[in-house]
Amino acid sequence: MGIITISAANCKNCYRCVRFCPVKAISIRDDQARIEDKACIQCGICVNQCPQNAKQIQGGLEAVLRYRASGQPLLLSLAPSYSGAFEQSLTEIAAELLKRGFSLVEETAVGARIVAGEYRRLVAAQGDGGCLISSPCSVIINLVEKHYPRLLPHLTPVVSPMIAHGRLLKARWGPESRVIFAGPCIAKKEEAREPAVAGAIDAVLTFAELREFLASPELPPAQRPRSLAPNPDAGKGRWFPLPGGLLRAAGLAEGVLEQDILIVDGMEEVMAALEALAAGEIKPRLVEMLACKGGCIGGPFMPKAPVFPARRDRFITTLLSLEDGEHIAGREEIELGREFRVRPYQRIYPGEKKIRAILDAMGKTTPDKELNCGSCGYESCRDKAVAIAQGMAELEMCVPYMREKAENLASTIIDFTPNAILVVDAQLRIKEFNPAAEKLFKVMAEAVKERPLGMVMDETHFATVLNSRRPLQVKVEYPHLGIVTHQRLSYIEEEDLVLALIIDITDMERQKEAFATVKRETIAKAQEVIEKQMKVAQLIAGQLGETTAESKVLLTKLIQLVQEGGDENVLP
């Protein structure tokens, strides 16, 4: 399972994650968004953009609690961007963590100083025509390994500050100690388990997880481990979270204005720079890259408040107050080298014939129908068609296509239903008047649409529904048209409209009246027979009295049955 997963219950198929994913590593299958781990670079953009909080991150707290329970020393490597995420000082954070089982809290910037020294050495030793792409950012490593493998030789073969610091802590306090890294980055969780650097970091927490841990109960004093003395030599390594921070920490800050030094941050600029490098359009000696806009201060697990400028200001204020002005230390007795691996994610590009067939299926039969609205998450209808062919998207993701399909279906139903359908607005103006209504009321839709309802019929019942906002069923006769109707009126709250389904029951009413006439005539005839029988009975009462009585009973029952049988309603 990957670092980022999606909750099927929370995902509402809004395609926002597809739209913002810089490498389109999110597929839609069976109306469900899925992370394509082989393409995902763990930038965390989809996590922040998801309005339903459907993206879930692999947690690290369980491992921390397990290590604490085992009695193994817990050492925290705290990313230097902490001051942009927490109001507390490093000393205050450390004090709280020591109460909860950590033996040491130290800035990752200690490792960053060592890495900065290695960069300065490599840049100085670099020959003409060479190009180094910085590698402290885990997302950049993932991006190059998976999507720009041609540029892999340009990745600087140096471990990140997190790995350098982890190795330094284990070298100092013993391999049995457990080093936990805390920072704003999701990709660090995957970097920590990469085979090339495995063992340096035992668990990775986001700042959100660290905040959750800080809110947990303190350990009793007797259960707290012995605290260890941290290394204060972070120095200029604290600048790493900012664009240009590596150059400043390495003593190469003057190179910012030089043509052969390039600083880029944010995925859009990063990918544009990599494209230009791959095409040979630019040839810098060093490219410092940070995937997040504004650097690590803009990381996916930095708090939303305060806003970025305020976080950056607080970070720099803290940094300047801690700046110790020390020179970059030389290479420490830990391994700083790093090898990268080619993990190319390649999609098979479909042929033009297949793309054209998919576009036609979406109703994009001509270029002018390719709206390129981006509602599906892709920049163009053609990109969407390619994604469908590659199994990354579905036809139904096209919102204009689905809307047109729904409208066509609705129009078909309205046009071909045998019953009249009317829609009127709050001003009792006709908005919809279907063909059955034209036939029933003997007037064309063009003549009455957007006109007052009173031109066609009495408005009373419609006004009642608008005012009460409750449905109404009523029988209405139109003598001038020779029709009788059964009307079902419903209020549509979202649009403040009244929808009327009008059924022509003229024939049913005529049948009902004919039946009533037969009933009346039958009763009259039966009554006439009874009266005649009674007269005869008076003449021959002695001989036929019993038979006459029985006939009267039978005829009386017949009258009752006829009377009772004709009272049922024709319509429910």
pLDDT digits (tens, 9 = 90+) for 346-373: 888 899 999 999 999 888 888 888 888 8
Same domain, 304 and 317: yes
Running DSSP on this structure, what letter comes out for residue 129?
A: T
CA dihedral over 201, 206, 207, 210, signed as positive or negative: negative
H helix intervals, 27-89: 45-49, 61-70, 82-85
Determine the 3-state secondary structure of 203 from DSSP: strand
| Any domain includes 409 | no
Residues 6+ apart with CB under 8 A from 533: 548, 551, 552, 555
Residue 273 host element (H or E): helix 267-279
- Which of the four pLDDT bands, split at 50, 70 and 90, describes residue 111? very high
Give the per-residue pLDDT at 517.
82
Beta strands in 104-256 (DSSP E): 104-107, 132-133, 178-183, 203-206
Same domain, 485 and 435: yes
Q: Which residue has the higher pLDDT, 233 or 334?
A: 334
Q: Which residue has the higher pLDDT, 537 or 89?
A: 89
Give the per-residue pLDDT at 369.
85
Does the model's pTM come out above 0.85? Answer: no
Contact indicator for 268, 323 with CB cutoff of 8 Å: no
| Any domain includes 332 | no
Q: Give dist(CA 488, CA 475) in Å, integer.
A: 9
Give the per-residue pLDDT at 553.
66
Q: Residue 250 belongs to a domain with what CATH number? A: 3.40.950.10
Which residue, 294, 322, 350, sits at the end of a domain? 322
Q: Give dist(CA 180, CA 201) in Å, integer.
A: 6
User: Does the pLDDT at position 557 exceed 80?
Assistant: no
- Which of the four pLDDT bands, split at 50, 70 and 90, describes residue 521? confident
Give the per-residue pLDDT at 321.
84
Its domain, for residue 430, covers 417-504
Mean pLDDT of 153-180: 96
User: Does the pLDDT at position 180 exceed 60?
Assistant: yes
| Any domain includes 359 | no
User: pLDDT exceeding 90 applies to what percent of the chain?
Assistant: 69
Q: Which residue has the higher pLDDT, 345 or 410?
A: 345
Tell me the pairing of strands 132-133 and 286-290: parallel
- Which of the four pLDDT bands, split at 50, 70 and 90, describes residue 221? very high
Running DSSP on this structure, what letter comes out for residue 264?
A: E
| Any domain includes 158 | yes
Q: Residue 424 belongs to a domain with what CATH number? A: 3.30.450.20
Same domain, 263 and 197: yes
Which two structure tokens, joined as six digits, stand for 551? 């006939």
Same domain, 152 and 216: yes
Contact indicator for 158, 340 with CB cutoff of 8 Å: no
Which two structure tokens, joined as six digits, stand for 125? 């030793």
Give the per-residue pLDDT at 80.
95
Give the per-residue pLDDT at 326.
47
Tell me the pairing of strands 420-424 and 286-290: unpaired
Q: Which residue has the higher pLDDT, 500 or 409?
A: 500
Same domain, 494 and 517: no
- Which of the four pLDDT bands, split at 50, 70 and 90, describes residue 330? very low
Which residue, 484, 504, 524, sits at the end of a domain? 504
Residues 6+ apart with CB under 8 A from 239: 80, 245, 246, 248, 249, 319
User: Does the pLDDT at position 409 exceed 90?
Assistant: no
Give the per-residue pLDDT at 543.
54
Q: Specify the number of domains making up the chain.
A: 3
Q: Give dist(CA 427, CA 423) in Å, integer.
A: 11
Contact indicator for 82, 205 with CB cutoff of 8 Å: no
Q: Give dist(CA 225, CA 7) in Å, integer.
A: 38
CA-CA-CA-CA dihedral for 49, 52, 56, 57, to nearest 10: 40
CA dihedral over 313, 318, 320, 323, signed as positive or negative: negative
Kindly report the average pLDDT of the chain as a whole number.
89
Give the per-residue pLDDT at 570.
41
Mean pLDDT of 483-487: 95
Mean pLDDT of 101-113: 96
| Any domain includes 356 | no
| Any domain includes 11 | no
User: Does the pLDDT at position 62 exceed 70?
Assistant: yes
User: Does the pLDDT at position 569 exceed 50?
Assistant: no
Give the per-residue pLDDT at 327.
43
Which two structure tokens, joined as six digits, stand for 405? 């399909």
Beta strands in 150-228 (DSSP E): 178-183, 203-206
Tell me the pairing of strands 104-107 and 74-78: parallel
Give the per-residue pLDDT at 535.
73
Mean pLDDT of 464-486: 94
Mean pLDDT of 420-430: 95
Mean pLDDT of 445-458: 93
Give the per-residue pLDDT at 530.
73
Give the per-residue pLDDT at 547.
55
Mean pLDDT of 251-276: 85
The b/e string for 233-244 (b: 16+ C-beta within 10 A; e otherwise) is ebbbbbbbbbbb
Same domain, 295 and 265: yes
| Any domain includes 4 | no
Q: Give dist(CA 172, CA 501) in Å, integer.
A: 82
